[in-house]
Amino acid sequence: MTNETVLVIGGTGKTGRRVAAQLRERGVEPRVASRSAEIPFDWADPGTWAAALDGVTAAYIVPYDISPSPTPALVKQAVESGVRRLVLLSARGADVPGYFGAAYDDEGPHAQGEAAVRASGVEWTILRPGWFAQNFSEGVFADGVTGGELALPTGDGKAAFVDAEDIAAVAVAALTGNGHAGQVYELSGTRALGIDDVLGEIAEVTGRRARYVPVDEADFRAGLVAQGVPDDEAALWTDALKPVRTSQEAPVVDGVRRALGREPRDFAEFVRDAAAGGAWQA
């Protein structure tokens, strides 16, 4: 499909920009769409969708995490405009009732998006990654790592954090190659780590050790609200960490190997690359 037009929705985000970069490495110039990209795309403004979809044959969809989800409407419009292949970024546990806790209903946005692509009538692939390794280098945990203290309601729980480079590699394989239609890829890293383990591995490379502070869920949520986060959003963040707190994301799964024929990148490899790229510099 190297002569096809591939749309990357969310193309400036953690996975989207990596998908775009890896497509270019394969000789495919992606159409990058987001609110800040050259091709404007706003989930909250369906009027921006048609121009982004025009002439597109394959699309990578990073959904808007609200319920009811706008993904079904986007999928319908994409198919009507001629898109023949859809790759959806979902989440590990999207098919497990109660996986994320009380703030997420069992038919939340990920489940709604998955149902839409399954019923689309075109080729589809679903990616279900767990928590990203990159959250420690460029995401919600990065400031805590750099600042020397990371306070989270995760207790002694563990997760097999997945490298966003692997997520992108699976997405690109599904967007451009054969054999991925109708596949659901559960994605993880190579081993389970607790938050204190993660900070220890970062310290081995950077020489600076951040302290992990386990906090109560209610205190964590109240702290977010005190920082100006709306209470409903603070509840979602707190519940989103439940799979780490309960070690539901500790099991290593085989999606990367099934999709790419190789093992996932190890967390230590992520740390080395992130540090070399300037992460965690004071």
Taking only the tens place, the pLDDT of each residue in 38-85 is 899 999 999 999 999 999 999 999 999 888 899 999 999 999 999 999
DSSP state of 230: -
90 pLDDT tier (thresholds 50, 70, 90): very high
Is residue 16 scored above 90 in pLDDT? yes
224 pLDDT tier (thresholds 50, 70, 90): confident
Residue-by-residue DSSP string for 160-229 = -PBPHHHHHHHHHHHHHSSS-TTEEEEE--SS-EEHHHHHHHHHHHHS--PEEEE--HHHHHHHHHHTT-
Q: What percent of the chain has pLDDT over 70?
A: 96
Q: In whole angstroms, give the CA distance from residue 18 to residue 191.
A: 23
Closest CA to 172 of 120, 113, 127, 121: 127
- Per-residue pLDDT of 172-207, as tens digits, reads 999 999 999 999 999 999 999 999 999 999 999 999
3-state SS class at 129: strand
Is residue 1 scored above 50 in pLDDT? no
pTM: 0.95
Q: In whole angstroms, give the CA distance from residue 147 to residue 67.
A: 34
For position 109, what pLDDT does the model report? 86
**Higher-confidence position of 108 and 118:** 118
Q: Which H/E stretch holds residue 120?
A: none
